[in-house]
Amino acid sequence: MTARIISGTEIARQITEEVRQEVENLKTRHGITPGLATVLVGADPASQVYVGAKAKACANLGIYSERHDLPSNTSEAALLELVEKLNRDPRIHGILVQSPPPPHINESKIIFAIDPRKDVDGFHPVSVGRMVIGEPGFLPCTPHGIQVLLERSGVNTEGAEVVVVGRSNIVGKPIANIMLQKAKGANSTVTICHSATRDMAGHTRRADIIIAAIGKPKFITADMVKEGVVVIDVGVNEIGKTTEGKRILVGDVDFDTVKEKAGAITPVPGGVGPMTIVMLMSNTVRAARMAAGLD
């Protein structure tokens, strides 16, 4: 058996068109243009690529965007001042401060300073709290994208054994909380595995759905999964470059061997990655609707 490929690229394309229609509706019927501000401190190349992709997505959808690129020696006080300015700006419905900031800046303090009504990244304690208790709010973009991938791919999560490999605040913990909610596209039995887990393969072999987000290339191997499992690979690991200088990327799953046992699997690239930005755009539009009293 060779696994069905779950294409994040295709599903993200579908959602992009839905968000585009919603943006047009807000503009024509309500005179509202959703607005997103991105803030980047320093010149980390990967972060610059991510921020650039978000600005491009905004332009493609007709979302107003502001990009604030600050030098790496920007003080924490100056960054907090900018966040507060954006909190007060009625043109801005969503604020995203690119992670991680330079070491001299307390990332938690910056996240806490963002108005929860503009927390389209879903990392503010108010957003996290609402996610945990199952109340409506902004869900973190990558975990929410994973849930949408599963739902739109027709994967039955009701009562499913879901094993999350990784416990980061960005992916592991949030997706575990999302999947255990008593809600459509969730209602699963969830196990979280991490660096201190004993007999990890014993857990993963029981899984109906594996979500790999541990940051180790090809960590999940064929002997760690059962026949027919659904595998969502969140990892993006560079393992070298081609002779032309192009990066060689692999996930946290040994794709070539696991796909021969899995029922469905996401590729890297082209799986979870495309979902993250489109869910950010969706959150920004929702923030604009909430600010206008439409949601």
Phi, psi of 9 (to 5 degrees): -60, -45
pLDDT tens across 210-232, in order? Answer: 999 999 999 999 999 999 999 99
Residue 187 and residue 83 share a domain: no
Domain extent, residue 81, equals: 31-118
Give the residue-averaged pLDDT of 102-121. Answer: 97
Does residue 1 register a pLDDT over 80? Answer: no
Question: 80: domain CATH number?
Answer: 3.40.50.10860
In this prediction, residue 46 has a pLDDT band, given cuts at 50, 70 and 90, of: confident
* Domains held by the chain: number: 2
> Is residue 216 flagged as an active site residue?
no
- Which residue in the list 21, 44, 48, 54 is annotated as catalytic? 54
Calculate mean pLDDT across residues 187-202. Answer: 97
Look at residue 130 and tell me if it is in a domain: no
Active site residue 14: no
Residues 153 and 252 in one domain: yes
> Domain of 259: which CATH number?
3.40.50.720
- pLDDT tens digits, 117-162: 999 999 999 999 999 999 999 999 999 999 999 999 999 999 999 9
Percent of the chain with pLDDT over 70: 100
Same domain, residue pair 152 and 249: yes
Same domain, 83 and 151: no
Please list, in sequence order, all residues whose beta carbon lies within 8 angstroms of the beta carbon of residue 249, skipping any fewer than 6 positions away: 236, 237, 238, 239, 268, 269
pLDDT of residue 146: 98
- In this prediction, residue 247 has a pLDDT band, given cuts at 50, 70 and 90, of confident
Instruction: Tell me the pLDDT band of 2, cut-offs 50, 70 and 90.
Output: confident
Tokens of 189: 């039995």
Active site residue 218: no
CA distances (Å), 87 to each of 18, 90, 102, 277, in order? 27, 8, 22, 21
**Is residue 55 located within the same domain as residue 154?**
no
247 lies in some domain: yes
Catalytic residue among 119, 121, 208, 252, which? 121
Q: Residue 137: how many CA atoms within 13 Å on its side-chain side?
A: 23
Q: For residue 68, which phi and psi values (nearest 5 degrees)? A: -115, 100
State the pLDDT confidence band at 109, using cuts at 50, 70 and 90: very high
Q: Are residues 149 and 91 in the same domain?
A: no
Does residue 89 lie in a domain region?
yes
One domain for residues 152 and 254: yes
